[in-house]
Copies of this chain bind each other. A is one copy, B any other.
Amino acid sequence: MQALIDRIKQEGKVFPGNIIKVDSFINHQVDPELMLAMGKDFHAKYQDQAIEKILTIETSGIAVAVTTALQFQVPMVFAKKSEAASMDKNQYQAKVYSYTRGKTFEIRVAKDYLKAGERVLIIDDFLANGEALSGLISLCEQAGAEVAGIGIAIEKTFQPGGEKIRQAGYPIYSQARIKAFEGDTILFEEN
């Protein structure tokens, strides 16, 4: 998606450890017009998939998940993160390891909001090692919901998450695919 790629080129900041920060328009300050355009782009990609629910994870996925849900006219659910384990029979839970933070946390969705047979579009801002995305897929599987599509804003294709999850048979569409960093320069996959 060219508008997102252009914005990343203009404002994305590269940090050691293959980290890219997009705090000025996605992760801290948010550009609502860009979020709307991204929501429309996800809708264009998955509009024939009879999507019934958008699933994301707090916090940074929420903005684009809302604009995407607006296009599909379906509810959005955000999984909640917690560092503490809990046993609540009313929730689906999955463990997610965060490479950024170097620890494992739990993500949860109330059973009321993810149902058997529901066709779910998972939306998230980043895909790198695929830990959070695998956790969201696990929540859907526990519910018996169907992952009808996955929409990612920024994928780092040189990290293994996308490959692993595509090989497991899940369709992933990423709007901007970063293949490498060369110093401060961000290189994108051709298309």
Binding site for B on A (CB under 8 A): 23-25, 28-33, 35-36, 58-59, 62-63, 66-67, 69-70, 73-78, 80, 109-110, 112-113
Cβ of A110: which chain B residues have Cβ within 8 Å of it?
23, 28-29
CB atoms of B63 and A31 under 8 A apart: no
Contact check: which of B66, B77, B80 meets A66 at CB < 8 Å? B66
CB atoms of A66 and B63 under 8 A apart: yes
- Known contacts: A59-B58, A59-B59. The answer to whether A113 contacts B28 by CB under 8 A is yes
Give A61's nearest chain B residue, CB to CB.
Answer: B62
CB atoms of B70 and A28 under 8 A apart: no
- Please report the C-alpha to C-alpha distance between residue A25 and residue B29 in the assembled complex, in whole angstroms: 24
CB atoms of B35 and A113 under 8 A apart: no
